[in-house]
Amino acid sequence: MRHAKKRLIVASVLAASLVASLAGCASAGTGTDGKNGELTLWTHNGGNTEELAAVQAVVDKYNASQDKTTVKVQAFPQSSYNDSVVAAAASGKLPCIVDIDGPNVPNWAWAKYLTPLDLSVDLDENLPSTLGKWNGDTYSVGYYDVALALFARTSVLEKAGIRVATIDEPWTKDEFDAALKALKADGTWDKPLDLGTADVGEWYPYAYSPLLQSFGGDLINRDDMQSADGALNGKKALEWAEWMQSLVTDGYVAPKSGADAALDLENNVSAIMLGGSWAAGKLSTALGDDLSVLPLPDLGEGVKIGGGSWQWGVTSGCADPEAAMDYLSFSLSPENIADVAKATATIPATDAAAALVPGFEEGGDLALFREFSKQFAELRPETPAYPFISSEFTKATQDILNGGDPQATLDKAVKAIDGNIKSNGGYTQK
Amino acid sequence: MALTQLPDAAASSPEQPAVVTVAGSGRRGTRSRRGGTTGGGRADGLSSRWSGRRRAGLGGWLLRLALAVVFAFPLLFMFVSSLKPDQQIFGDLSSVAAFLPIGNISFDNYAAVFDRVPAARFLINSIGISAITVLLGILVNSLAAFALSRMNMRGKSIILTLIIATLIVPFETLALPLVWWVNQLPSLTLDGFSLGFSKGWIDTYQVQIIPFIANAFSIYLFHQYFESIPKELDEAARMDGAGWFRIYRQVVMPLSGPAVATVAILTFLPAWNSYLWPLMVVQTEELRPVMVGVQYFFQLNVSWGEVMAYASLITLPVVALFIAFQRSFVNSIASSGVKG
């Protein structure tokens, strides 16, 4: 009996020391980041080998350029990055520098994760869609933006007698509808247009709310950002919803598309695809000269595409914000921006950087995307309510594509959005 | 020493009179024997059910074949696709070629996986985290179940009911309060040569292990299994001078192999599959488990072949473990009357 007890005690002590040693070998960081001249930078590039290497290169250059501050990169996979940041903010473990998806900036600024930028570079040079602003302050700046376009085979369009749209003369709504009808009649494609409907998430507001805006509707009344009534459920919005639904009922679009729109276009499963500039490289390799990159159709109020990609901000809990601002200012040199854009095939944020990236110079292959971004980009509403609006819009659009009553669905979304804004006191102060 | 032999003897042949002799009084002996035969009868029943199924004929075989197809084909698709380039995966989707390793086959995707993700590190982390969770889980939960099954105390059944009741609370509900809680816990740190305390378990290995050791379902499984082990064995052992811990260690646990195997697998699977929790509490890449690694492949341009290769890599240990423990796993599920 005594023997057994002794063993039990030994076992408990062993177990306890095991726990202690585990605690010992893990990094036990408490307190805020930025002390002792060490800054941590979080990025959404886990697994994105090219962009991560480009960011790491900028950081290495900065670390070598001075000896006061050392910046350390911590990468997270993109699809779980936001959750990681919100969890870290809840437990007071945010790093000094974070990566942010553009439309989330107002929400993170309002929640006091971020502090306004105070940089030594002139941000007026940047594409407007690469800056994250809220309440008159700039909270974030990006190295690049991305743009949306329609991708198709020139040979397919010509065979069906469809005009190749240009940036000065995009398709009108009637032209677009007629094109889809002709492609459907050809019989080669079960669903000629791939809108990427399987990609539920931020893709929905990013890709489809510009279509809504092209009709004349919007996600919210932008004058005071207090209500979506009239914008998201008015006459124009209803026209958009009915049109989206007709794309499905006429058999042009699948309510749930294939998992990879670019591969489906490559395999000739679809004829026209709505996609991002990031797919251009891959498609141009696969289709060569036959690839046509077209602007989105003008559905009434001009062509619109989404704006705002990943940007950088400094957290409010950072122990050494001056050092963090110094790093960001350093990182925004044209050479650094160009290096990141080259690695990621994205649109460089400044003209000076664009001149350094092959393809983006005047008349280059990729310059078209920069023009799309400059002329058509519409920012998603800059309000802390955006993450909520985004998920409501996604739900509503899915319902509409799957046959829900357009007016009732939009009214429901408006009610939910207005309720959320009210219950947060209008998101005016915190 | 007779006692040390006892569990093995009882395990190999439950009806051996040796049990009765040690147990002492005739009445207890009879009950013990009955306990023993029940165990045997259960095994007989099991084998007769199996032979019954064997006689089920063509219909039964077809049904089994259909079920095997349903469960095996996704795995087959995963492995076959991991050998193909992205464009071919999608090109083959509409034909039976999706399940055949034909066309442009290579291990390129596997090589690419290791370039994109620190896969070896993630695998080692997950193996370590899962193994420690399983080992400590078996120890702690069996001790708890042993106490509830064997010790004389009031309100045992109420405690057991309360423990089982916690099963209805989903983890997602507890996750946020748990994050707050683990962030308040102290941990021992070694700073140079001096020991110190720091607050918060966020971003450590133990935060991925400790909260998942105590498990209501494991306690319940052990408890049910312990109840089927005749109490006379304890009494015999006690007459030989054994204490509680010795009875636990040398009588009850050696007889509970199938329960241990079941708990091991049922603890291992969620530990291996854990995704939400490490996402919330682990920030350093070096500490991440395998499931978080899956997200590394979902970039703007998804590399589907690499997704399949990584999925194959991280499924392998689970399949291997299941095959290794299959027999005792099935036996335990069948004999403890716990379904699914």
> Per-residue pLDDT tens for B246-255?
999 999 999 9
Average the pLDDT over A331-342 and give the result.
94
- Give the closest residue to B86 by CA, choosing from A224, A267, A350, A56: A267
Cβ–Cβ below 8 Å for A267 and B91: yes
Looking at this protein, which amino acid is placed at residue A256? Answer: K
- Inform me whether the pLDDT recorded for B218 exceeds 50: yes
How much of chain A exceeds pLDDT 70, in percent?
Answer: 92
Among the residue ranges A298-302, A303-307, B238-242, the one predicted with the least confidence is B238-242
- Inform me whether the pLDDT recorded for B3 exceeds 90: no
- Inform me whether the pLDDT recorded for A13 exceeds 90: no
Residue B191 has a pLDDT of 65
Interface test with B, best of A14, A50, A80 (most B CBs within 10 A): A80
Structure confidence at residue B146 as a pLDDT band (50, 70, 90):
very high
Tokens of B143: 């001790």
Q: From CA A257, how far away is CA A193, in angstroms rounded?
A: 10
Helix (H, G, I), strand (E, B) or coil at A308: coil
Residue A14 has a pLDDT of 43
Cβ–Cβ below 8 Å for B279 and A80: yes
- Inform me whether the pLDDT recorded for A412 exceeds 80: yes
How much of chain A exceeds pLDDT 90, in percent?
Answer: 78
Cβ–Cβ below 8 Å for B281 and A279: no
- Inform me whether the pLDDT recorded for B23 exceeds 70: no
- Whether the CB of A6 is below 8 Å from some CB of chain B: the reply is no
Cβ–Cβ below 8 Å for A22 and B302: no
Average the pLDDT over A27-39 and give the result.
65
Q: What is the CA radius of gyration of chain B?
A: 25
The Cβ of residue A372 has, within 10 Å, a number of other Cβ atoms equal to 25
Average the pLDDT over B187-207 and give the result.
78
Structure confidence at residue A183 as a pLDDT band (50, 70, 90):
very high
Q: Which of A20, A46, A84 faces B296 most closely, judged by CB atoms?
A: A46
Indicate where chain A has its CATH 3.40.190.10 domain(s).
Answer: 35-145+308-379, 148-305+385-427
The bridge status of strand A272-276 relative to strand A144-145 is unpaired
Q: Tell how far CA B14 is from the center of its chain.
A: 27
The tens digit of pLDDT for each residue in B183-196 reads: 888 877 766 677 77
Cβ–Cβ below 8 Å for A27 and B299: no
Tokens of B45: 């029943």
Domain boundaries A148-305+385-427, corresponding CATH code: 3.40.190.10
Using a CB-CB cut-off of 8 Å, the residues of chain B touching A89 are none
ipTM of the complex: 0.74
- Whether the CB of A374 is below 8 Å from some CB of chain B: the reply is no
Task: Give me chain A's average pLDDT, please.
Answer: 90
Residue B55 has a pLDDT of 59
Residue B177 has a pLDDT of 87
Query: Token match 């939910």: residue?
Result: A416
- Inform me whether the pLDDT recorded for B11 exceeds 50: no
Structure confidence at residue B26 as a pLDDT band (50, 70, 90):
very low
Measured torsion, CA atoms of residues A364, A375, A191, A246, in degrees rounded to the nearest 10: -170
Domains and CATH numbers, chain B: 58-106 (no CATH), 116-335 (1.10.3720.10)
Cβ–Cβ below 8 Å for A47 and B301: no
Higher-pLDDT residue of B326, A331: A331
CATH topology of domain A35-145+308-379: D-Maltodextrin-Binding Protein; domain 2 (3.40.190)
Residue B265 has a pLDDT of 86
Interface test with A, best of B251, B284, B300, B308 (most A CBs within 10 A): B300
Q: Which of B183, B206, B295 faces A23 most closely, judged by CB atoms?
A: B206
Query: Token match 């080692």: residue?
Result: B124
- Whether the CB of A200 is below 8 Å from some CB of chain B: the reply is no
Residue A36 has a pLDDT of 84
Higher-pLDDT residue of B51, A203: A203
Using a CB-CB cut-off of 8 Å, the residues of chain A touching B180 are 90-91
Cβ–Cβ below 8 Å for B206 and A25: no
Cα–Cα distances in angstroms (integers) from residue B100 to residues A165, B81, B82, B312, B315, in the given order: 42, 9, 11, 16, 19
The tens digit of pLDDT for each residue in B283-315 reads: 889 999 999 999 898 877 788 999 999 999 999
CA-based nearest distance B169→chain A, Å: 21
Average the pLDDT over B92-104 and give the result.
86
Cβ–Cβ below 8 Å for B205 and A87: no
The tens digit of pLDDT for each residue in A77-108 reads: 988 898 889 888 888 889 999 999 999 999 99
Cβ–Cβ below 8 Å for B87 and A20: no
φ, ψ for residue A366, nearest 5 deg: -100, -5
Structure confidence at residue B102 as a pLDDT band (50, 70, 90):
confident
Cβ–Cβ below 8 Å for A80 and B295: yes
Average the pLDDT over A365-384 and give the result.
92
Structure confidence at residue B95 as a pLDDT band (50, 70, 90):
confident
Cβ–Cβ below 8 Å for B210 and A279: no
Using a CB-CB cut-off of 8 Å, the residues of chain B touching A8 are 245
CA-based nearest distance A281→chain B, Å: 10
Cβ–Cβ below 8 Å for B188 and A83: no
Residue A242 has a pLDDT of 97
Residue B27 has a pLDDT of 37
Tokens of A98: 């974070």
**Range 15-34 of A in CB contact (< 8 A) with B:** 15, 18-20, 22-30
Which residue in chain A has the smallest CA separation from B136?
A: A15
The Cβ of residue B277 has, within 10 Å, a number of other Cβ atoms equal to 21
Average the pLDDT over B100-125 and give the result.
91
The tens digit of pLDDT for each residue in A164-177 reads: 999 999 999 999 99
Residue A236 has a pLDDT of 97
- Inform me whether the pLDDT recorded for B29 exceeds 60: no
Higher-pLDDT residue of A298, B322: A298
Q: Highest-confidence range of A35-44, A232-241, B55-64, by mean pLDDT?
A: A232-241
Expressed in angstroms, the distance from the first to the final Cα of chain B is: 41
State chain B's maximal CA–CA distance in angstroms.
Answer: 76
Residue B103 has a pLDDT of 87
Tokens of A190: 């079960």
Using a CB-CB cut-off of 8 Å, the residues of chain B touching A49 are 115-116
Residue A300 has a pLDDT of 95
Cβ–Cβ below 8 Å for A87 and B281: yes
Structure confidence at residue B328 as a pLDDT band (50, 70, 90):
confident
C-alpha triplet A316, A318, A323: angle, nearest 5°: 120
Q: Which of A28, A29, A260 faces B304 most closely, judged by CB atoms?
A: A260
Q: Which residues have C-beta within 8 Å of that of residue A287, sequence separation ≥ 6?
A: A153, A266
Higher-pLDDT residue of A229, A281: A229
Looking at this protein, which amino acid is placed at residue A166? Answer: T
Among the residue ranges A18-27, B60-69, B102-111, the one predicted with the least confidence is A18-27
Structure confidence at residue A292 as a pLDDT band (50, 70, 90):
very high
The tens digit of pLDDT for each residue in A207-216 reads: 999 999 999 9
Beta bridge partners of A40: A72
On whether the CB atoms of residues B208 and B274 are closer than 8 A, the answer is yes
The bridge status of strand A310-315 relative to strand B186-191 is unpaired
Structure confidence at residue A429 as a pLDDT band (50, 70, 90):
low
| Axis crossing angle, helix A235-249 with helix A406-423, rounded to the nearest 10 | 130
Q: Which of B198, B204, B299 faces A48 most closely, judged by CB atoms?
A: B299
Residue B208 has a pLDDT of 94
- Inform me whether the pLDDT recorded for B46 exceeds 60: no
Residue B333 has a pLDDT of 65
Using a CB-CB cut-off of 8 Å, the residues of chain B touching A93 are 200, 202-203, 283
Average the pLDDT over A133-145 and give the result.
95
Cβ–Cβ below 8 Å for A26 and B243: no
Interface test with A, best of B281, B296, B308 (most A CBs within 10 A): B296
Average the pLDDT over A231-240 and give the result.
97
Query: Token match 């006061």: residue?
Result: A68
Average the pLDDT over B151-163 and give the result.
89
Which residue in chain A has the smallest CA separation from B193?
A: A24
SS (H, E, C) B241-283: CCCHHHHHHHHHHHHCHHHHHHHHHHHHHHHHHCCHHHHHHCC
Among the residue ranges A65-74, A191-200, B90-99, the one predicted with the least confidence is B90-99
Q: What is the CA radius of gyration of chain A?
A: 25
